[in-house]
Structure 1
């Protein structure tokens, strides 16, 4: 049927490929009658939808006709994606040119990164230390010198 519709110019070559794959992708226990109905359904929608939409309809047909098989395939697909994300996990420390400081680059699966983000934000929110003195070093030294003079401290005479 798909080949005939393609020959009549009712659908594009890409549509025909998508339909052929969707019908072929159905489990072997789906009977010929259901396969014909599925193919007719996809051909009808191909006249109004782009190939990507028809591909999604093909997956929806699998979900409708064989829900257990669809769930098994979806589980495998998600498991494969999770394992691929695990393989891409990394942690790198980079010098950033600031004394006493480094930059960290972390690659984690989304769920784990969200957990880490929440932990870091909780640590930051619970930090009650006063703000650090961010003045340049020479200004800090000057302040210390003034404080020591006002407290009566003087350089020893032997210096």
Structure 2
């Protein structure tokens, strides 16, 4: 189910993520910003990993369906450099990415905070992307009918307090 429709129809009360434009009658509040970095199979001899753009696009990538807009942003920027992302495997969930990268020659582009977590969960090294991308703003979205609802306002405030960065 599309998130904007689910919010419009009342199937969802709140959506959180880097979701782009969500449509009419929907409010949004920025929570935090993230940048994309790369992850690659870990190596004992490797201290700092760097990749050229050519090396980055030559490698096959693991992409996660939950990062669809992020992947589109990356692909758009690569096209502006005359390059294309080589997808090796497309997985539905982000949590599958670190183990696939750690046990193969695939690489992946993921939000920086997740890359730090993944490097503790699996044998992966983190590296800066060879191209500059804008930071991703993660936001919470809700339908206008909930905007002044006291319970919903309390919940949105709790989410902003818990996830927000000032």
Q: Compute the TM-score of the two structures, normalised by the length of structure 2.
A: 0.24
Max Rg structure? 1
Q: Compute the TM-score of the two structures, normalised by the length of structure 1.
A: 0.25
Q: Whose strand fraction is larger, Structure 1's or Structure 2's?
A: 2
If asked which structure has higher relative contact order (CA below 8 Å, sep 6+), I would say 2
Q: Whose helix fraction is larger, Structure 1's or Structure 2's?
A: 1
